[in-house]
């Protein structure tokens, strides 16, 4: 690293800035090298060089705080007793006017080192689309097991959204390639499950496995709804993923419902 081996006074701001931007703070987090670089930058006589040191320090602190936050989520999952294999399950798409309800169950290794923690996992709605897509791939790669289940709009109309919600929870868990010893479910306990089950209110902000399941489920459903948008172009599914936005409702009133609409959800709209 040139910043460590060269007299920084002889380096231009542009050069130092380029070198700082190359630093992967997450990889150097525990090293003395990062601390030395920050101290060198902050000791320079130039304020713009000092600001680079402050920026590195803030980034270091941000990642350290994120590690502590996610470790607390992992520890939450391990706080329910002597269970070794824990699955989290969540759903997305309970409330839209169109499209399926999708559930995902995820089993994580909860005893990983800090370097292997799934940083930035959270309630999927709190993450940007880009971050969700990125995390979904990492989760699927690192998960001990994961499984996705869904009920389409016809089934939702036939048996009701509540029954479908429970059904996709059950299917997502029961079809996992590794059988969990405990299932943590977001919001409510699962009816008919033969595995110990604990419900967690706002689980996608407290539990690592539920948060991971939330992200994978949303990315899967959002991708599906964008595919439907090409087939049914009048409802702006690519924007609203089936939720009742004004543009979506205008499309229903002008063109009528399409095959993936939940007719049981449209009574008030069609009658108005």
- How far from 79 is each of 182, 206, 256, 260, CA to CA, in Å? 11, 12, 50, 41
Same domain for 31 and 153: no
Give DSSP secondary structure letters for 45-84: S-HHHHHHHHHHHHHHHHHHHHHHHHHHHHHHHGGGSS-S
Tell me, yes or no, if the pTM score tops 0.85: yes
User: Is 28 in contact with 20 (CB distance < 8 Å)?
Assistant: no
**Does pLDDT of 1 surpass 60?**
no
Q: How many CB atoms lie within 10 A of CB 217?
A: 30
What is the average pLDDT value for the chain, to the nearest integer? Answer: 93
Asked which of 13-27, 110-124, 232-246, 247-261 is least confident by mean pLDDT, the reply is: 13-27
* Together in a domain, 137 and 112: yes
Q: Which H helix or E strand runs over 236?
A: none
Given pLDDT bands bounded at 50, 70 and 90, which one contains residue 54?
confident
Q: Answer yes or no: is 238 a known binding residue.
A: no
- How many whole angstroms separate alpha carbon 33 and alpha carbon 27? 11
Confidence of residue 29 (pLDDT cuts 50, 70, 90): confident
Q: What percent of the chain has pLDDT over 70?
A: 97
**pLDDT over 80 (residue 6):** no
Please tell me whether residues 22 and 96 are part of one structural domain.
Answer: no
Same domain for 162 and 120, yes or no, is: yes
54 labelled as ligand-binding? no
Residues 90 and 64 both lie in one domain: no
Q: Return the CA Rg of the chain.
A: 24
- Residue 227, CA distances (Å) to 47, 86, 138 in order: 51, 33, 23
Please tell me the predicted confidence (pLDDT) of residue 2. 63
What's residue 232's pLDDT?
A: 98
pLDDT tens sequence across 148-204 = 999 999 999 999 999 999 999 999 999 999 999 999 999 999 999 999 999 999 999
pLDDT of residue 141: 97
| Residue 186 known to bind ligand | yes
Q: Is the Cβ–Cβ distance between 242 and 156 less than 8 Å? A: no
- Regarding whether 67 and 90 lie in a shared domain, the answer is no
pLDDT band of 272, cuts 50, 70, 90? low
Residue 262 pLDDT > 90, yes or no? yes
- The phi, psi pair for 91, rounded to 5°, reads -130, 160
pLDDT at 5 > cutoff 70: no
Structural domain count, the chain? 2
Cα–Cα distance measured from residue 182 to residue 174, given in angstroms and rounded to the nearest whole number: 12
Looking at the fold, whether 87 and 138 belong to one and the same domain comes out as yes
Do residues 66 and 91 share a domain?
no
Task: Give the pairing of strands 86-92 and 182-186.
Answer: parallel
Whether residue 227 lies inside any domain: the answer is no
Strands 145-151 and 101-107: antiparallel
Residue 4 pLDDT more than 90?
no
In terms of domains, do 119 and 6 share one?
no
Tell me if 217 sits within 8 A of 143, measured CB to CB: no
Instruction: Print the domain residue range for 42.
Output: 2-71
Render pLDDT for 209-249 as a digit per residue (tens, 0 to 9): 999 999 999 999 999 999 999 999 999 999 999 999 999 99
CB atoms within 10 A of CB 44: 17
Distances (CA, A) of 136 to 63, 127, 129, 195: 19, 11, 10, 26
DSSP strands (E only) in the chain: 86-92, 101-107, 145-151, 182-186, 197-200
């Amino acid at each position: 690293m040139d910043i460590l081996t060269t007299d920084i006074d002889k380096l231009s701001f542009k050069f130092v800035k380029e070198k700082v931007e190359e630093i992967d703070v997450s990889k150097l987090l525990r090293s003395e090298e990062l601390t030395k670089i920050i101290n060198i930058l902050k000791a320079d006589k130039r304020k713009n060089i000092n600001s680079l040191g402050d920026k590195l320090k803030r980034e270091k602190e941000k990642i350290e705080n994120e590690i502590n936050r996610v470790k607390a989520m992992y520890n939450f999952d391990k706080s329910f007793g002597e269970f070794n294999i824990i699955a989290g399950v969540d759903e997305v798409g309970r409330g839209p006017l169109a499209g399926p309800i999708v559930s995902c169950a995820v089993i994580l290794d909860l005893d990983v080192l800090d370097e292997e923690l799934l940083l930035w996992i959270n309630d999927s709605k709190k993450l940007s689309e880009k971050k969700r897509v990125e995390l979904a791939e990492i989760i699927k790669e690192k998960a001990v097991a994961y499984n996705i289940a869904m009920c389409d709009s016809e089934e939702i109309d036939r048996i009701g959204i509540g029954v479908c919600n429970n059904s996709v929870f059950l299917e997502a868990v029961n079809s996992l390639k590794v059988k969990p010893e405990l299932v943590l479910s977001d919001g409510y306990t699962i009816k008919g499950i033969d595995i110990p089950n604990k419900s967690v209110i706002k689980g996608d902000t407290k539990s690592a496995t539920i948060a991971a399941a939330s992200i994978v489920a949303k990315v899967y459903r959002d991708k599906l709804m964008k595919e439907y948008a090409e087939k049914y172009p009048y409802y702006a599914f690519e924007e609203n993923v089936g939720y009742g936005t004004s543009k979506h409702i205008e499309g229903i009133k002008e063109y009528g419902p399409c095959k993936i609409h939940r007719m049981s959800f449209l009574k008030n709209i069609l009658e108005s």
